[in-house]
Structure 1
Amino acid sequence: MPTIPAADGDVVFCARGITRTYVMGEVHIQALRGVDLDLYAGELAVMLGASGSGKSTLLNILGGLDRPTTGSVRYRGQELSGAPDRALTRFRREHVGFVFQFYNLISSLTARENVAVVTEIARDPMTPEAALALVGLEARMDHFPSQLSGGEQQRVAIARAVAKRPAVLLCDEPTGALDSRTGTRVLEVLQEINTRFGTTTAVITHNAVIGDMADRVIRVADGRVQETWRNTRRRAPSELVW
């Protein structure tokens, strides 16, 4: 296992005082209530929390998919909170890979073509073939999503995310729609990418067991970071008891 990044290491994301309020008619929903959080270069962090805890909102703000109502988010010293839409689009395209619970593959395209959608616009991408080989799908490149299992579709989604060589990989419930055996394979791929490429990786989940594979666990509840702790040893996904 790699050395766990030091707590005072290279800060990739620095969030301070983050709030997020959604207004639906006369109803105000406060998703985040003053979050302070750092994510460090090369670490694998698990954000753990129940549905509705605010963890997805926090991940979306870090990734530039949403904006905080108040507070500051910096990526390597660059302020994201007030950045114009064009700058956020460039930030997402050049620095961040996203993996979601539902795979968001284009049904009319093969696995290879789904990955190529990203590689054709990235600055220094892997080839689709190399990205799919990385996730163990070299024999399934010309299959359509309907011909792939759920776990294989998620691995195509991961290949698509990492093909542009992002510095950061943000994963929202990547095993939420999978059984434990298939989920383990997906987590193995994420851990391999983190270890092999040093990609800063954040995985959000409601499953506390997954926290054992992380360098650091961040527990989110009621729109706040309630506690964080560091694991003395990262467990391999195959060691997790689901």
Structure 2
Amino acid sequence: MTKTAVFRAVDITKTYQMGEVQVRALRGVSLELFEGEFVVLLGASGSGKSTLLNILGGLDVPTSGTVHYLDNELTASDQGMLTRYRRDHVGFVFQFYNLIPSLTARENVELITEIADSPMDSLDALDLVDLRERADHFPAQLSGGEQQRVAIARAIAKNPDVLLCDEPTGALDVKTGIVVLEAIALINRKLGTTTAVITHNAEIAKMADRVISLSNGQIAGVEKNTTKIQANVLSW
């Protein structure tokens, strides 16, 4: 059965003006991401991974080319439309957790559920990352990995169609990072959320449907994983 293309990017470029210098972050990238797919974006620093993810998430716009989310052309949308797109359809996870220190884990998640159209219960979201029992703890009482898992719970609590993760393990040690990546893979499997993750952790590639490599602002290769393994969360 053919899956729906959630994203269709065609020949997108992105050029930044840095003083008198032009930096070409993307150089004609074309790709599709499909419904329920788990994709890993790999590449060296400066290869264009974050720029591509930000454009897909409506945080940035390309210099040229087109990007469609389902039947909606993001590249023809104004800022108000992009804001609604981000609010209603996209969950973001970044390298830094950005939790509010004075709020508990549950309250940090509820910041999103209060503004979402059809949110899940905050405790159910924390349950998906195995942190229900830590719901009333403040960020300072949680480890780095637990704080990132709260950030993931916050991102998914609004029931997004798409989950975009930019180096979610960048501030964590390798072992803790694997636990966080397994949580993302588990959510992809349970909720069917189209998921794209930027990571340097090779372990997560074993859980992905496809690995897309970028180099110098271009797609250098696409590898389909025919031996995808399921997330194993025994380390929790």
Q: Shorter chain as normaliser: what TM range?
A: over 0.9
Does residue 13 in structure 1 map to residue 7 in structure 2? yes
1:194 corresponds in structure 2 to 188
Does residue 180 in structure 1 map to residue 174 in structure 2? yes
1:212 corresponds in structure 2 to 206
Does residue 86 in structure 1 map to residue 80 in structure 2? yes
Task: Give the AA of the match of 1:91.
Answer: Y
Question: Mind listing any 5+ residue stretches in structure 2 that lack a counterpart?
Answer: none
* CA–CA separation in structure 1 for the residues paired with 2:21 and 2:162: 34
Superposition RMSD on alpha carbons, in Å? 1.4
2:97 corresponds in structure 1 to 103
1:126 corresponds in structure 2 to 120
1:28 corresponds in structure 2 to 22
2:71 corresponds in structure 1 to 77
Task: Give the AA of the match of 2:142.
Answer: L
- Shift of residue 238, structure 1, vs aligned partner: 5.1
**What do residues 152-200 of structure 1 show as CA deviations (whole Å, max 9, x unaligned)?**
0000000000000001000111111111221121112111111111110
Task: Give the AA of the match of 2:170.
Answer: G
The 8 Å contact of residues 182 and 204 in structure 2, kept in 1 or not, is answered as no
- Identity, in percent, stands at 63
SS at match of 1:189: helix
1:119-158 alignment, distance < 5 Å:
119-158=113-152
Q: Normalising to structure 2: TM-score of the pair? A: 0.95
* CA–CA separation in structure 2 for the residues paired with 1:68 and 1:193: 29
SS at match of 2:39: strand
The 8 Å contact of residues 48 and 211 in structure 1, kept in 2 or not, is answered as no
- Shift of residue 237, structure 1, vs aligned partner: 5.0
Matched positions, count? 233
Question: Mind listing any 5+ residue stretches in structure 1 that lack a counterpart?
Answer: 1-5
Task: Give the AA of the match of 2:208.
Answer: A
Task: Give the AA of the match of 1:69.
Answer: T
**What do residues 61-83 of structure 1 show as CA deviations (whole Å, max 9, x unaligned)?**
00000000101000002100121
The 8 Å contact of residues 64 and 91 in structure 1, kept in 2 or not, is answered as yes
Task: Give the AA of the match of 2:223.
Answer: W
